[in-house]
Amino acid sequence: MTISLKPNNSSPEKLQPTGWLKYLSFSLDHKVIGLQYLVCGFLFYLIGGSLAGAIRVELISPLSDFMPREVYNQVLTLHGTIMIFLWIVPVVNGAFGNYLIPFYVGARDMAFPRLNAVAFWLIPPSGLMLITSYFINGAAQSGWTAYPPLSITTPAAGQIIWILSVLLLGGSSIFGGINFIATILKLRRPGLKLMQLPMYCWAMLGTSILVVLSTPVLAGTLILLSFDIVAHTGFFNPSLGGNVIVYQHLFWFYSHPAVYIMVLPAFGLVSEILPIHSRKPLFGYTTMVFSIMGIVVLGLVVWAHHMFTSGTPPWMRLFFTIATAFIAVPTGIKFFNWVATLWGGKISLNAAMLFSCGFIINFVLGGITGVALAQVPFDVHVHDTYFVVAHFHYIVYGGSVFVIFSSIYHWFPKFTGKMLNENLGRFHFIITFIGFNLCFAPQHWLGLNGMPRRVAEYDPQFQLINQISSVGALLMALSTLPFLWNILQSTLYGEEAGDNPWNALTPEWLTSSPPPVENWDGEAPLVLEPYGYGKKDSNETQEAIR
């Protein structure tokens, strides 16, 4: 097999089903694959969201009365696993990465189109396998962290299926990561320097480095765990002389960077959206690039902050406190730069902008509680409580999910050639924002006051706050309805968008909407200033690029 870094324009593989059927085929077109990731991810999001709903219904009353306790733990495990491995990671990386990166580097496809298709097609079967384990013999019930010895002593079938599907999903993301690194570094249009790339490329480069370095560690760990389960080896099994803490170190060596695998691409997407809708250059391009790389480096060395209560020696606690807290510095730079990007702009308050700004506000709160959690004495009290549940949902929902919605509002015209309804979009934002904060803000209090996480029953004194939280979750669930309606309605009858409805300068907008199979009819435009707003009239800049 020869692998060509220059996709061949006339290869017969490009002759593929057309119409909507192409989305159910082994398409090699990066745009098709991107949308496959997006739609598939969204379907899993609906499943993961329903499971979250079930959890919140159980927690309306202090007793375990809505579902059996084993089922609660299965639902909880499935919810966490689906949301991370089948929704956020595939969508912020796979979906937008595949769709946008070739445009941004001026290529006609990804470096390895076939590998790309394989990476996507690993996802639906592993996801289905994970979910069907619930009906076969009961899904895994040891949480998405699968700490031994619990994961060794709970029923094996579900846990093994869980391991298999996470391994496949990990493989998928490694394939994706390799592909992004190769595409960004090797397929750049001649004349385009790294420091002229749109910020999302940098975010994806950083993310892919994390993926390639840390996911194999998770894979190895889970393989050892599966040996412990099926072959009764004793790597992590204390009754056979194994060490349970070693698993935690290995697991978090992947899973802490995984947080950045979920938010760094989101940072990149926001950096694309804010300049366009505030008609200003991205503020501080260079510091933005360095802060991404700073986050990558620091992100790799802070994993043990998840283990402050698991018997780590004091020096380790200190080191990991300081290293963790320092991530606030590069992250802070990005947030100040975004606000500076808004400053003095001509801001359109459309749905994409609102979701991005909602992201900034939510993530700042999630980041603040994160720095607090990095402090050992503080963490010791709230570790494994609802304070942590609140903190990470502010990061993954208030961060990544808000950005995914923002990105859908922003790129939908590119995907389909149709506009989304802005008023419905703003309505969607308002309900989501209120519901989200109502659901997760009170949980900080719950954790501080004594409610542990992953429990189906709790002290009755926490009932009122849990009910408020559940009402928030209901609002969030309802808020998907105007969104789905908007997508459906606009895809079918939406207003024509034209090629470049936002009057943007980034390369994907300088072709037709939706773009042709080869991305550009003629040669790819050479965009050296993707954020050149305000220079002269940006219309002229656009003409000049063409």
Partner 1 sequence: MPKLSAILTLTTSLILGIAGVWVAYNVDMLPVSASMNAPVYDELYRVLFIIGLILFIGMTALVIYSLIQFRRRPGESGDGIDLEGNISLEIFWTAVPAIVVLFVGLYSYDIYDRMGGMQPLMHDHSGQMDNQAERVWGGIGSGPIESSSEKNSLSLPIELTAMQFAFIFHYPKGDIISGELHVPVGREVSLKMESKDVIHAFWVPQFRLKQDVIPGQPTILNFTPTKAGNFPIVCAELCGPYHGGMRSNVIVDEQEDFDTWLKENSKESI
Q: Which of residues 189-248 bind partner 1 (CB under 8 A)?
A: 238-239, 241-245
458 lines the binding site for partner 1 (CB under 8 A): yes
Q: Which is nearer to ligand HEM, 105 or 389 (CB)?
A: 389
347 lines the binding site for partner 1 (CB under 8 A): yes
Question: Which of partner 1, ligand HEM, none is residue 476 near (CB under 5 to 8 Å by kind)?
Answer: ligand HEM
Q: Which is nearer to ligand HEM, 168 or 401 (CB)?
A: 401
**Spatial distance between the Cα atoms of 13 and 261, rounded to a whole number of angstroms:** 31
Closest to 215 (Cα-Cα) out of 84, 307, 87: 84
- Long-range Cβ contact pairs of 475-481 (< 8 A, separation 24 or more): 475/431, 475/432, 475/434, 475/435, 475/438, 475/439, 476/49, 476/431, 476/432, 476/435, 476/436, 476/439, 477/49, 477/53, 477/435, 478/431, 478/435, 479/428, 479/431, 479/432, 479/435, 480/46, 480/49
Task: Please give the structure tokens belonging to residue 228.
Answer: 């412990």
Q: Under rule CB under 8 A, which residues in 83-112 are in contact with partner 1? A: none
Q: Which is nearer to partner 1, 150 or 182 (CB)?
A: 150
345 lines the binding site for partner 1 (CB under 8 A): yes
80 lines the binding site for partner 1 (CB under 8 A): no
Q: Under rule CB under 8 A, which residues in 368-427 are in contact with partner 1? A: 368-369, 371-372, 375-378, 380-381, 383-385
Q: Which is nearer to partner 1, 254 or 283 (CB)?
A: 283
**Spatial distance between the Cα atoms of 420 and 198, rounded to a whole number of angstroms:** 24
Element (H, E) at 531: none
Interface with partner 1: number of residues (CB under 8 A):
97
Q: Under rule CB under 6 A, which residues in 448-487 are in contact with ligand HEM? A: 453-455, 473, 476
Q: What is the 3-state secondary structure (H, E, C) of 72-129?
A: HHHHHHHHHHHHHHHHHHHHHHHHHHHHHHHHHHCCCCCCCHHHHHHHHHCHHHHHHH
**Spatial distance between the Cα atoms of 409 and 407, rounded to a whole number of angstroms:** 5
Residue of 8, 11, 343, 485 that binds partner 1 (CB under 8 A): 343
167 lines the binding site for ligand HEM (CB under 6 A): no
Q: Under rule CB under 6 A, which residues in 360-389 are in contact with ligand HEM? A: 389
Stretch that binds partner 1, among 186-194, 296-304, 456-464, 507-515 (CB under 8 A): 456-464
Stretch that binds ligand HEM, among 32-40, 79-87, 271-279, 366-374 (CB under 6 A): 79-87
Q: Which residue is nearest to ligand HEM (CB)?
A: 80
**Spatial distance between the Cα atoms of 172 and 120, rounded to a whole number of angstroms:** 7
Q: What is the DSSP string of 402-427?
A: HHHHHHHHHHHHHHHSBPPPHHHHHH
Residue of 133, 165, 172, 337 that binds partner 1 (CB under 8 A): 337
Residue of 53, 124, 171, 284 that binds partner 1 (CB under 8 A): 284
| Ramachandran sector of residue 432 (left: φ over 0; alpha: ψ -120 to 50; beta: rest) | alpha
- Note whether 289 and 202 are within 8 A (CB): yes
Task: Please give the structure tokens belonging to residue 116.
Answer: 């790309």
**Spatial distance between the Cα atoms of 153 and 177, rounded to a whole number of angstroms:** 34
Q: Print the binding letters for residues 492-531 with partner 1: x by CB under 8 A, - otherwise.
A: ---------------------------------------x
155 lines the binding site for partner 1 (CB under 8 A): no
Residue of 171, 332, 501, 514 that binds partner 1 (CB under 8 A): 332
Q: How far is the CB of 76 from ligand HEM (least distance, A)?
A: 5
Q: Which is nearer to partner 1, 45 or 359 (CB)?
A: 359
333 lines the binding site for partner 1 (CB under 8 A): yes
Residue of 279, 441, 467, 474 that binds partner 1 (CB under 8 A): 279
Q: Is the dihedral of CA 45, 264, 253, 325 positive or negative?
A: negative
Q: Under rule CB under 6 A, which residues in 86-115 are in contact with ligand HEM? A: 88
- CB-based burial, 354-391: b 16+ in 10 Å, e otherwise: bbbbbbbebbebbbebbbebbbbebbeebbebbbbbbb
**Spatial distance between the Cα atoms of 458 and 466, rounded to a whole number of angstroms:** 10
Stretch that binds partner 1, among 129-137, 182-190, 334-342, 401-409 (CB under 8 A): 334-342
**Spatial distance between the Cα atoms of 98 and 294, rounded to a whole number of angstroms:** 24
Task: Please give the structure tokens belonging to residue 529.
Answer: 């200033």
79 lines the binding site for ligand HEM (CB under 6 A): yes
2 lines the binding site for partner 1 (CB under 8 A): no
Question: Which of partner 1, ligand HEM, none is residue 364 near (CB under 5 to 8 Å by kind)?
Answer: partner 1
Q: Which is nearer to partner 1, 216 or 501 (CB)?
A: 501
Q: Which is nearer to partner 1, 174 or 456 (CB)?
A: 456
Residue with tokens 């299965």: 74
49 lines the binding site for ligand HEM (CB under 6 A): yes
- Note whether 194 and 285 are within 8 A (CB): no
Closest to 483 (Cα-Cα) out of 306, 355, 307, 385: 355
306 lines the binding site for ligand HEM (CB under 6 A): no
Q: Under rule CB under 6 A, which residues in 423-452 are in contact with ligand HEM? A: 439
**Spatial distance between the Cα atoms of 365 and 368, rounded to a whole number of angstroms:** 5
169 lines the binding site for ligand HEM (CB under 6 A): no
Residues that bind ligand HEM (CB under 6 A): 49, 52, 55-56, 76-77, 79-80, 83-84, 88, 143-144, 389, 393, 396-397, 401, 439, 453-455, 473, 476
